[in-house]
Amino acid sequence: MNASRSFSKRLSLNIIGTTAVLFMAAILTLGVVSYSMAYNSAIKETSAAMKSNFLEIEKVLGEVEAVTNSNAWLVEKFCENDTALLDVVSNLILSDSNIVSCAIGFEPYSVYPDKMYYCPFAYFDEEGKVRTRMMGSDDYDYPLMDWYIIPAMLGHEYWSEPSLDSDGSGRLITSFSKPLYWNDGRLMGVIKADIDLQWLTDKIQSIKPYENSYTILAGRNGSYISHIDKSKILSETVYTGSLGVGDEKAIASIRQMMSGQTGVIRINRPEYKGFFIYGPLTNGWTAALVCSYKDVFSKATRMNRISFLVAILGLILLYLTNKRIIGRHVQPITEFAYSALNISQGNFKARIPEVKSDDELGRLHDSLDYMERSINEYIRELRTTTASNERYESELNVASAIQMQMLPKDYPKFDGVDLHAQLHPAKEVGGDLYDFFVKDRLLYFVVGDVSGKGVPAALYMAITRSAFRFIAGLGLPVDGVVARINNSFCDGNDSGMFVTMFVGCLNIDTLELNYCNAGHNPILIVSPNGKPSYLHAKPNLAAGLFEDFPYQGESMTLERGTRLFIYTDGVTEAENHINEMYGERRLEEFAGKEDVNESSEQFLENLRLSIKDFVKDNPQNDDITVMSIKL
C-alpha cells in the first residue's frame, strides 16, 4: 500500500509540477503583457494629460504676451508723459487677470538726459487696488536686472527665469519682457508684465494621473519652479540631488530631459522605481511627470496576484484530485505487485487480481497470469529433467566404478621388475586403459587411448582391455596381438571409433622387450644412469581404422635398472591456464631429474604432482594414464 501511495503521490507531483510550470509560464507571459500594456497605457495617458495642460498653460502665457505686445506701441507715444505711462502700466495689469505687476524700464538717460532711471511701475496693493510708482535706484538697478538686460541683449521677447517678487510677498513670479526700440532702431527700453506663478504651479500639480505621481517644472537654468517638495523651489535645480551623491548616470538622464525634447526616462534606483515623462513648454521651461511603477502597475499587479492565487489553488485542487484518481487506478497494480511478490517467494499458485478492462492493466494481468502458468510448467519439466539427470549421474558413477574395477589394482613384483600404473579419467568414465599380466615368465602390458570421451569411449576401453587379455593370452607376438585387436574392432565399427595403444611383452628373465606401437605416443626409456630418451617405434596406425593393417612389431633387449614409462597423450597435452602444454620436453626433463632407483609408484606420484604443479587450477580435459616398469 505504501508503494501505491508513493507512486500515486509521485505521479501526482509530476503532473502538478508540469502543470505548475505551464501555469507559471502562462502567468509570467500574462504578467509581462499586462505590465507592458500598463506601461504603454501610462505613457500614452500621461503624455496626453501633459499635452492638454501644456496647451492650457501656453494659452495663458500667450494671452499675457498678446496683451503686453498690444500695449507696447503706447510707450513711445507717451514716453515723456509720466502720468500717461503710469496709466499704460495700470491698464496693462487690469487687462489680464494673470498679470500682477507691470513696468516699463527705459534705457538710462534716453528719455531725460538727467535721469538715469526712468521706470513707470504698476502693481496691486494688499487690498487689490492698482498702485503706481516710478522705480529705479542703486538698490533697484533695473537696467542690469534679468528682465531688462536679457531681452535687451537678445533683441527679442523673453520669459525670465522665475524669481521671488521683490515686494516681499514671497510670491513666485515670472516676467514676460519685450524690448522696445526708437524709430531709429536704438533700444528705448523694455516693457515687462509679471505674472503670479501660483496658478501655473497649481495647474502643473493638477496633472496627477496616479495617486502618488507628481509633476515638476523647471526653468531653463534647471531651477525648480514647481515641485511637490516646496522647499526645493528656486533652491535646487534638477541636477542638485544627483550632484550631491555624484550620480553621473542620473545627471546624463536629466541633461537629456532638459534638452528641450519630449521623452521618457526610466528610473531604477533602490529607493525609487518609475519613470519621468517630460516635455518642454514654448517658453523653454521643462515639465516632467514623475510616476512610480508601483502606481502605474498597481492594477496589473493586483490582477497578476489574483491570477497567481487562482493558479495555486487550482494546482492544490488538481493535486488532491489527481492523487485520488491515480490512487484508485493504481490499486490493481499494488495487488499485482503483491501477487508477484508471492510468486517470487515460491507460491506459484498465488491469486492474481481479476482485471476485466482491455487496457494496460488488462495486459499486465494477462502477462502475470501467463508468467505464473509458464513458471509452473517449467518447474514441472525441471523436476522431470532433474530426476532423469540424477538417475544418469548415478549410473555414470556405477559405470565409473566398474571401469576402475576392470583395471588391475595389484602390482606384484616379478623378480625385480617393479610395475605401477595409474588412470585419472577426465570425466566419470574415460577411454584410457592400461593392463598387464604375466604368463610364462612373460610380462604382457598395454597402455591405450580410445578416441572420444565419455560412455562410448569407456565401452571401447572395456572391449579393448578384454580383447588384449584374450588375444595376448593366446601367446601371439605383439604385432599379431595388435593386428587381431584391429581386425576385431574394424568388424562392424560403424561408429568409427579407434584406439591407439602401446603393447609390450617383456621377458622377465632376458629383459628382451617385444613391442608394437599402434599410433600411440612414443614411450620413454630411462637408462640405468638416469638418462631419458624416447623410443620411436615403427609408425603403425591406431587399431580400428583399417582392417588387416600390417602391424610391425619390434624388439630390443634392455639393461637391468632401465625404466620404461608408457603414457597417454593426457600427460603431454595437459594444459595450464595459458593453454601451454606440459609436452614431451618437460616430461623428459622430469624423468631425467628423478632418482633412477625410485619405485614406479613414487615415480608416478611425483609425475602427478609435477603435472598438477604445471596446470595449477586449470581443469583436466583429457584422461591421463601412466605406467612405469622399473627393471
Partner 1 sequence: MKAGGFLTMAMALCMAVSVKAQEKMTLMPAWMPQSQFAGYYVALEKGFYADENIDLTIEHMGVNSSKPGIERIGSGEVDIIISHPIQALMARDYGLKVKNVLQVTQNTGIMIVSHKKLDGPQSLNGQSIGRWKSGFSEICEICCLNNNLDVKWVPFLNGINLFMSGAIDATVVMKYNEYYSLVEAMGSIDPENVLWFADCGYDIPEDGLYVTEEYLAGHRDLVERFCRASMKGWNYCVEHKEECVDIVMDYMEKVGVKTNRYHQTVMLDGMIELLRNRETGRIDYASIPQDKYDKLVRDLLKAHYIETPVSYSEFSK
CA distance 272 to 291: 10
Among positions 18, 235, 357, 389, the unique one binding partner 1 when judged by CB under 8 A: 235
109, 115 Cβ separation under 8 angstroms? yes
CA distance 316 to 327: 16
591, 399 Cβ separation under 8 angstroms? no
Closer residue to partner 1 in complex, CB, 108/528: 108
Contact between 246 and partner 1 (CB under 8 A)? no
Interacting stretch for partner 1, rule CB under 8 A, among 29-37, 237-245, 417-425, 498-506?
A: 237-245
Contact between 240 and partner 1 (CB under 8 A)? yes
For 239, 424, 521, 577, 621, the CA distances from 583, given in Å and listed in that order, are: 106, 18, 11, 15, 15
Contact between 182 and partner 1 (CB under 8 A)? no
Residue 371, classed as helix, strand or coil, is helix
DSSP letter for 550, please.
-
Closer residue to partner 1 in complex, CB, 159/460: 159
List, in sequence order, every beta strand (DSSP E) within 107-254: 119-124, 130-135, 158-159, 163-164, 172-181, 187-196, 214-218, 224-226
CA distance 109 to 113: 5
Q: How far is the CB of 37 from partner 1 (least distance, A)?
A: 34
Q: How far is the CB of 269 from partner 1 (least distance, A)?
A: 17
C-alpha cell at 35: 505590465
Residue written as grid cell 558413477: 397
Interacting stretch for partner 1, rule CB under 8 A, among 70-78, 235-243, 295-303, 467-475?
A: 235-243
Contact between 254 and partner 1 (CB under 8 A)? yes
Characterize 529-549 residue by residue with b for buried, 16 or more Cβ atoms within 10 angstroms of its Cβ, and e for exposed.
eeebeebebeebbbbbbeeeb
DSSP letter for 140, please.
B
454, 427 Cβ separation under 8 angstroms? yes
Closer residue to partner 1 in complex, CB, 234/476: 234
Closer residue to partner 1 in complex, CB, 190/574: 190
Contact between 390 and partner 1 (CB under 8 A)? no
Q: How far is the CB of 221 from partner 1 (least distance, A)?
A: 4
Contact between 371 and partner 1 (CB under 8 A)? no
Contact between 101 and partner 1 (CB under 8 A)? no
Contact between 375 and partner 1 (CB under 8 A)? no
Residue written as grid cell 498679470: 99
Contact between 220 and partner 1 (CB under 8 A)? yes
Report residue 447 CA to chain centroid gap: 71
Contact between 424 and partner 1 (CB under 8 A)? no
Q: How far is the CB of 161 from partner 1 (least distance, A)?
A: 5
Q: How far is the CB of 168 from partner 1 (least distance, A)?
A: 8
Closer residue to partner 1 in complex, CB, 179/544: 179
Residue 264, classed as helix, strand or coil, is strand
For 294, 318, 386, 439, the CA distances from 307, given in Å and listed in that order, are: 18, 16, 71, 116
Pairing relation of β-strands 163-164 and 532-535? Answer: unpaired
Q: Which of residues 125-144 bind partner 1 (CB under 8 A)?
A: 138-142, 144
Closer residue to partner 1 in complex, CB, 254/287: 254
Contact between 222 and partner 1 (CB under 8 A)? yes
Closer residue to partner 1 in complex, CB, 219/327: 219
C-alpha cell at 188: 528705448
Q: How far is the CB of 155 from partner 1 (least distance, A)?
A: 9
Q: How far is the CB of 40 from partner 1 (least distance, A)?
A: 29
Closer residue to partner 1 in complex, CB, 260/314: 260
Closer residue to partner 1 in complex, CB, 186/536: 186
Helices (H), 78-103: 82-95
CA distance 386 to 382: 6
Closer residue to partner 1 in complex, CB, 196/432: 196
Q: Which of residues 146-175 bind partner 1 (CB under 8 A)?
A: 146, 149-150, 153-154, 158, 160-161, 164, 166, 170
Closer residue to partner 1 in complex, CB, 242/620: 242
Number of residues that bind partner 1 (CB under 8 A): 39
459, 472 Cβ separation under 8 angstroms? no
Closest CA to 307 of 13, 28, 21: 28
CA distance 366 to 361: 9
| Residues making contact with partner 1 (CB under 8 A) | 138-142, 144-146, 149-150, 153-154, 158, 160-161, 164, 166, 170, 220-223, 232-237, 239-244, 251-252, 254-255, 258
